[in-house]
Structures are given as C-alpha cells and as structure tokens.
Amino acid sequence: MTTSAQLFEQASRHIPGGVNSPVRAFKGLHRPPVFMERAQGAYLYDVEGKRYVDYVGSWGPMITGHADPEVLGAVRERLDQGLSFGTPTAIETTMADLICEMIPTIEMVRMVNSGTEATMSAIRLARGFTGRDKIVKFEGNYHGHSDSLLVKAGSGALTHGEPSSPGVPASLAEHTVTLSYNDPDAVEACFEEIGDEIACIIVEPVAGNMNCIPPQPGFLETLRRVCNEHGSVLIFDEVMTGFRVAMGGAQAYYEVAPDLTCLGKIVGGGMPVGAFGGKREIMEHISPLGPVYQAGTLSGNPLAMAAGIALLTKLREPGFHDALAQRVETLCHGLQERADAAGVDMITQHVGGMFGLFFTGQSRVDNFAQATACDAEAFRRFFSAMLDQGVYLAPSAFEAGFMSSAHTPEDIQLTLDAAEKAFAAVQL
Ligand code: PLP
C-alpha cells in the first residue's frame, strides 16, 4: 500500500511543494498531508483506507456532504450532452435566475471559474464604474490571489499598501488600502481623508480566512454608510459565507445590502465555479453591455452549472440553515466544555454553518492581530491529535471550519470524544 508520506514525496518532484494550493501542504504542522482517495457524506477516506469526519468540506462547497447523490445525479444527467460548447446554454439562465432569487441584492450576475476571478472582476468593475483606482480591504481577509488583493498594510497604511507576495508590483499595491477588521473608526478616518478616491471596499462579511471572526455590530453598517456618502462601491466577498451562514448569505443574516457580491465554493457544488453580481446599474458596465472587460472560455460550464443548481436547490428546503447552525452550536458548545474541563485556554466563534477554535485566554477575537496572537503550538498539537483519531480539521489555525448537513449527532459525538483526548495532548 502506498502511504500518504510516499505520495507526498512523489508529488513534490514535479509539483511545487507537492500541492496545487499551499494550505494543503500542512506547512508548520510537522507531518505530511493526508492524501484522500474518496469521500462520502461527512467522511473522507485516505489512501490507506482510514476514515475521517471532515470539517473542511473541500474548503466550503460540500455543505450537504460529499458525493451528494442529487448533485452527482445532476452532473451525470448532463454528461453525455458534452462538456463545454463555448456558446450560451439555457442552464446558465437557470443558474442566474436562481442566484438572483436567493440573493435579492443581485439583479444581474456573471459566472466565472473561481472565487479569485469573482473578486478580481468585481474590483475591476468597481474601478471602471467609479473611474477611481483606490480600493479598501481588511487585514486577514482573503479574497483570492489576484494582484490588487495580495497586499498588506504598509507603514503609511492610508496611502501605501505593500505587496504581500513577490511578483505584485508596488505601483499596483499602492492603490490598495488595508485597514484593521472590525475597526469602524479606521474606516471613517480613511474615508475622511481619501474617500473620494476610493472605488470600493471589499470585505468578508464574516471573516473566514483568519479563523472565524464575525463582524461586530455596526461594522458592516459603517462600511455601507461611508460608501453611500462617498459614491464608493461596497463589495461583499461571500465566496465562503454565501449560502452558508444563511440562505441569502451574510448580507441576509446581518441585513446589510452590498452593491456587489462575490460568490464561489457552494455555488458550484464542488465544481470550479465563481460568480459576481449586484446592482443592475453597475453590472451593466460589464462587457458586452458596457466597456469593462471580463470573459472566460469555460465560464458558465454546463456541468458546473448542473452541480451548482442541484446543490442550491437542496439548500432551499425549509429549515436547512437552522439545522446546520444547530449542529455547529452543539459542536462548539461541546468543544468549549471539554476545553474548560481540561483547563485549556480556548474559545469558539461561529455563525451559521461556519465556526472557528482559537487557543487564547481572550474572551473574543475580532481582528488579525488578535488571531495571530493565539497559541499556534497548542493548535498544532490539537490538530494532530484530532487527525490521529480520525477527525479532519482545517490544517491551519487561520481557516474556518465547515459543518455539513450530512454530519450526524454520532459524528459530532465522535468529534467531541476525540477532542477530550486532544485537549489533554495540548497540555503535554
Ligand atoms: N474569497 C474568499 C472569502 C475565500 O475564502 C476564497 C478562497 O478560499 C476566495 C475568495 C478565493 O476563491 P478561490 O480559491 O476559488 O479562487
């Protein structure tokens, strides 16, 4: 039998770092990544036949569990008609209608192939629509890997962002202003100074890329207000939160309406799909209607649309999100009890179907600085002990966890039993 360690070694010969996306590499966790072979419902099965209760869900899409028979069935049904035509297809209209119905702030929508494409295109659209170059983002929010968004706060945070990756031109990064999440005062100050130069604010309405950090009351409302006051476009990056924290996404949950919304993950049912959409008057600037260029050879791919439509349709069952949130609540409550009993400093934060564990003595984590101050070694030990016991958590202290409707009370109990032992390992 070939082990994960052997496969990782083989993969590393021709794939940089052995992976096609960095977080998969288990960097800093002192063990090789697990190579998975198949998945069903709440479970992943590795190449050695071991089963894991999965709280990553392919980083979000698998909200009804892996290999959902209805999603697979929809793809199978389309398969024999051909993989891609490069022409309009009726199924793209079905998808667009469904998205606009589920997220009412979206009046028009364009399909793309990833979350990165969605945010990159939304930024270009906001710049084209406003005729301005500057954008505002928040430290610890991740919006994919396009150049304008791989930027961290520079020393003069208000005016000069710095590339967070080699290869991003400083001359581009300086158009990106990076502020602290959950800091409305910083947003106000920024807009007071340069508000009329700002094309847009892009924000994760619940931050899921620095673990799970909900917006504090008033934060999203402040973003909405300053954008209104200064004619800037408010973009909610709901690639992660869309259809997960509520059927209508975080904007429905918090009742704050963005101008544009970016989608990904769930919208493709596990296929490579993203989307961006919003107000008609803004979306009409996209080509071929308007002058802002955006395109894609495989965009609106019929198989991907079939998978996404099948999944979105399932989420519309009454009570779906309440039940999902209840499962998260049970898990987080159980984890807290066991951490407390073991004397481990840990807190949980959750919204709808997403959650996070922070190894910290603080009662709340609101921003990147607080998230990165958490105990990385405690996380590493906990993660490793959970993995050994067949529970697959995100292999990074800075990623949110995802629940699915396929997780049973028994799966959650198994997770809590494993956590009891894992918290003991944290203390060693
Ligand atoms: N935006 C958010 C909030 C994300 O979490 C991600 C990916 O995790 C992206 C954008 C980028 O999406 P993709 O990896 O599909 O390019």
Is ligand 1 within 6 A of the CB of residue 241? no
pLDDT tens for residues 239-256?
A: 999 999 999 999 999 999
Q: Do domains 4-67+318-427 and 69-315 have the same CATH topology?
A: no
Facing residues of 286 across strands?
292
Query: Distance, CA 208 to ligand 1 centroid (Å)?
Result: 10
The Cα 427–Cα 425 span in angstroms is: 5
**Average pLDDT score over residue span 147-155:** 83
Q: CATH homologous superfamily for 4-67+318-427?
A: Aspartate Aminotransferase, domain 1 (3.90.1150.10)
Q: Judge whether residue 409 has pLDDT over 60.
A: yes
Residue in this structure with the two tokens 């308007």, named with its chain if needed? 290
Which atom from ligand 1 is nearest to the alpha carbon of 272? 15
pLDDT of 163: 87
Here the ipTM equals 0.99
List the beta strands (DSSP E) in 251-340: 260-263, 274-278
pLDDT tens for residues 266-294?
A: 999 999 999 999 999 999 999 999 999 99
**Average pLDDT score over residue span 64-74:** 98
pLDDT tens for residues 318-363?
A: 999 999 999 999 999 999 999 999 999 999 999 999 999 999 999 9
Report yes or no: 116 and 344 within 8 Å, Cβ to Cβ: no
Which atom from ligand 1 is nearest to the alpha carbon of 115? 12
User: Is the Cα dihedral 152, 155, 157, 162 positive or negative?
Assistant: negative
| Confidence at 157, pLDDT banded by 50, 70, 90 | very low
Is ligand 1 within 6 A of the CB of residue 119? yes
In this structure, the strands spanning 391-392 and 51-54 are parallel
Q: 382: closest CA among 324, 323, 425?
A: 425
Q: For the chain, what is the largest distance between any 2 Cα atoms, rounded to a whole number of angstroms?
A: 63
The Cα 313–Cα 276 span in angstroms is: 19
pLDDT tens for residues 168-221?
A: 999 999 999 999 999 999 999 999 999 999 999 999 999 999 999 999 999 999
pLDDT tens for residues 363-405?
A: 999 999 999 999 999 999 999 999 999 999 999 999 999 999 9
Q: Is the peptide bond before 288 cis (omega within 30 degrees of 0)?
A: yes
| Confidence at 29, pLDDT banded by 50, 70, 90 | very high
* 3 state SS of 345: coil
pLDDT of 41: 98
Cα–Cα distances in angstroms (integers) from residue 202 to residues 142, 186, 220, 231, 350, in the given order: 10, 15, 11, 14, 21
Q: Judge whether residue 152 has pLDDT over 90.
A: no
Q: 207: closest CA among 400, 380, 75?
A: 400
Q: Judge whether residue 155 has pLDDT over 90.
A: no
Is ligand 1 within 6 A of the CB of residue 396? no
Residue of 23, 123, 240, 299 to mutate, ligand 1, most atoms within 8 A of C-beta: 240
Q: Judge whether residue 156 has pLDDT over 80.
A: no
pLDDT of 408: 98
pLDDT tens for residues 158-177?
A: 556 888 899 999 999 999 99
CA torsion, points 332, 336, 339, 342, in degrees to nearest 10?
-140
Domain segments of the chain as ranges:
4-67+318-427, 69-315
Is ligand 1 within 6 A of the CB of residue 237? yes
428: its two tokens: 């060693």
| CATH fold for domain 69-315 | Aspartate Aminotransferase; domain 2 (3.40.640)
pLDDT of 161: 80
Q: 42: closest CA among 405, 323, 312, 335?
A: 405
pLDDT tens for residues 41-64?
A: 999 999 999 999 999 999 999 999
